[in-house]
Amino acid sequence: MDLSGVFAQFLAILTTMLLAPLLMGWINQWRAWLQNRSGPGLMQPYRVLHKLFNKEVVLAETASPLFRFAPYAIFSCILLASAIIPTLSTGLPLSSAADAIALVGLFALARVFIALAAMDIGTAFGTIGARREMLVGFLAEPALLTVLFSASLIGQSTALTTIVDSLTQKKFAIYPSLVFAGIAFSFVLMAENARVPVDNPATHLELTMIHEALILEYSGRHLALLEWAASIKLFAYSALGLALFFPWGIAPGDKPWAMLFALPILMIKLAVGGFLIAVVETLSAKLRIFRVPEYLATAFLLAVIGMLTHILLGA
């Protein structure tokens, strides 16, 4: 195995683990500023993780081994999914073992584990949150797959690294199919990461919460792993969107030295993307849970239009 590829893979995983909480803190801070509030510090997610990892784990009497195992499985699935996304370089050894379809499968596997764990204790909040999470996933996954298929038609492959290489080697052009797919992807990103307008990560109201209801019974290091996994998932979706629709700056696989420039470019793109997420959350109102299917159906329809545009027009 190529040593440069191993180094690129290790650097991608390390970058994801370290920068994911920072991205979450950046979004939360901008969201507070845009709402004329004095928000938490940029490093607050790191402080929360440090505090939770040092707290004792408290388990319910009815908790099964699945409840204890789920945080580790969820964190592993999300981290593995992020490892096959070309964040800094396309020379990733894991990319040959998993393509875009496997990426969606890893996200789905993590969702199944968190839903089962939420129902394991038998509380009403956990069951409600699990049902809502599966509803969102049932509607968001087809839209995400269609977005990835639209991009794969341009790259003639479902491998993410091949798609990114193909897009970066082409002359700069605005593809109508990618415009529709990009709008649909932004809808899915907000839904899959429990952001407004689908969910509000800052609330604990039982009538509205989805993500918080799933992790309400966790504490200590288990809760730390779930919070860390949530930030990694947001980072992975952001990196995936940047790789598909703004791939410039990602180092080619045959030029590992280009990763020196890829890291600051990635941070700049993430900073802009995080700011836009905060703006969208500030300008949007949370939808009623019964309006979420319409929201995600719109995303799926836009993704299908994007795919049909490429098939019919070749653009």
HSE, CB side, 13 Å, CA atoms: give it for residue 167. Answer: 28
Q: Which of 174-183, 196-205, 214-223 comes out lowest in average pLDDT?
A: 196-205
Task: Quote the DSSP letter at residue 95.
Answer: G
Six-digit token pair at 42? Answer: 């940029």
> Residue for token digits 């968001």?
140
In angstroms, the CA 241 to CA 266 distance is: 12
In angstroms, the CA 91 to CA 82 distance is: 14
- The amino acid that residue 204 corresponds to is H
Q: End-to-end distance of the chain based on CA atoms, in angstroms?
A: 37
User: What HEC string does 37-94 produce?
Assistant: CCCCCCCHHHHHHHHHHCCCCCCCCCCCHHHHHHHHHHHHHHHHHHHCCCCCECCCHH
Q: Is the model's pLDDT at 204 over the cut of 80? A: no
* pLDDT band for position 39 (cuts 50, 70, 90): confident
Q: Which of 71-75, 92-96, 204-208, 309-313 ranks highest by mean pLDDT?
A: 71-75
To the nearest 10°, report the CA torsion of 278, 279, 285, 291: -80
pLDDT recorded at residue 201: 79
